[in-house]
């Protein structure tokens, strides 16, 4: 299977230059990365956490982590934006799950902040291209992906909340992601 260079891969020269400057301790390079990608990082954190102050904490955490260990960014694997947004999602999910674990530990019923299974809430604010790609998915696949990605839930937890077998949810997510990969191929970040 041959692979062609995608637009997002073409931006890596700039990204690698910024990363190299960060590695050499140039704080202006980090600020440049922040100005370019801080909005995307915050928007990802907001989608999961839905609280401004927590999302800003994640933004801070992501860029300080990049400053402390810029070598973790590998420009052959994708853009700097993708790298930073991916870290932001992981950190946001960690916060959500810590809160979930607290509820379970205290044997309490989660409050209304529990992620809704109404994926419309999550997908409403997405850009046109991404929203269209999500809209083209079967409802069941879109819902499973939205609950996992925007709700910070594991597929096991998604299955529990939807009352479906874990294997079914796993298959839906996998199928939906495969379709998204095809429909969004070539979309630049």
CA distances from 143 to 58, 62, 78, 153 (A): 25, 28, 27, 12
Q: Is 85:44 a contact under the CB 8 Å cutoff?
A: yes
The smaller minimum CB distance to other proteins, of residues 65 and 162, is found at 65
As measured in angstroms, the least distance from the Cβ of 17 to other proteins is 19
With 0-12 CB in 10 A as exposed, 13-18 as middle and 19+ as buried, what is 1?
exposed
- Indicate whether 180 belongs to the interface with other proteins (CB under 8 A): yes
Q: How many residues lie near other proteins (CB under 8 A)?
A: 76
As measured in angstroms, the least distance from the Cβ of 121 to other proteins is 14
CA distances from 31 to 18, 53, 56, 66 (A): 10, 20, 15, 11
- Indicate whether 162 belongs to the interface with other proteins (CB under 8 A): no
- Indicate whether 10 belongs to the interface with other proteins (CB under 8 A): no
Distance in Å from the first CA to the final CA of the chain: 24
- Indicate whether 184 belongs to the interface with other proteins (CB under 8 A): yes
Residues 108-147: x where in contact with other proteins by CB under 8 A, - otherwise, as a string = -----------------xxx-xx--------------x--
- Indicate whether 4 belongs to the interface with other proteins (CB under 8 A): no
As measured in angstroms, the least distance from the Cβ of 3 to other proteins is 8
Residues 6+ apart with CB under 8 A from 61: 91
| DSSP-derived secondary structure letter, 137 | S
As measured in angstroms, the least distance from the Cβ of 137 to other proteins is 12
- Indicate whether 38 belongs to the interface with other proteins (CB under 8 A): yes
Which stretch in 10-18, 37-45, 135-143 sits in contact with other proteins by CB under 8 A?
A: 37-45
As measured in angstroms, the least distance from the Cβ of 68 to other proteins is 8
- Judged by DSSP in three states, 59 sits in helix
């Amino acid at each position: 299977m041959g692979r062609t260079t995608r637009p997002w891969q073409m931006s890596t020269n700039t990204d690698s230059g910024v990363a190299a400057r960060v590695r050499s301790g140039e704080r202006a390079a980090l600020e440049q990365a922040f100005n370019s990608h801080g909005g995307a990082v915050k928007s990802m954190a907001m989608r999961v956490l839905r609280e401004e102050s927590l999302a800003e904490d994640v933004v801070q955490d992501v860029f300080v982590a990049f400053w402390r260990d810029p070598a973790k960014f590998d420009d052959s694997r994708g853009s700097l934006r993708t790298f930073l947004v991916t870290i932001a999602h992981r950190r946001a999910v960690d916060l959500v799950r810590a809160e979930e674990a607290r509820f379970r530990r205290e044997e309490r019923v989660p409050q209304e902040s529990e992620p809704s299974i109404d994926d419309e809430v999550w997908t409403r604010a997405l850009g046109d291209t991404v929203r269209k790609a999500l809209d083209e998915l079967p409802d069941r696949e879109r819902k499973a992906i939205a609950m996992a990605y925007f709700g910070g839930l594991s597929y096991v937890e998604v299955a529990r909340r939807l009352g479906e077998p874990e294997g079914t949810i796993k298959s839906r997510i996998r199928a939906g992601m495969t379709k998204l990969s095809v429909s969004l191929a070539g979309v630049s970040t």
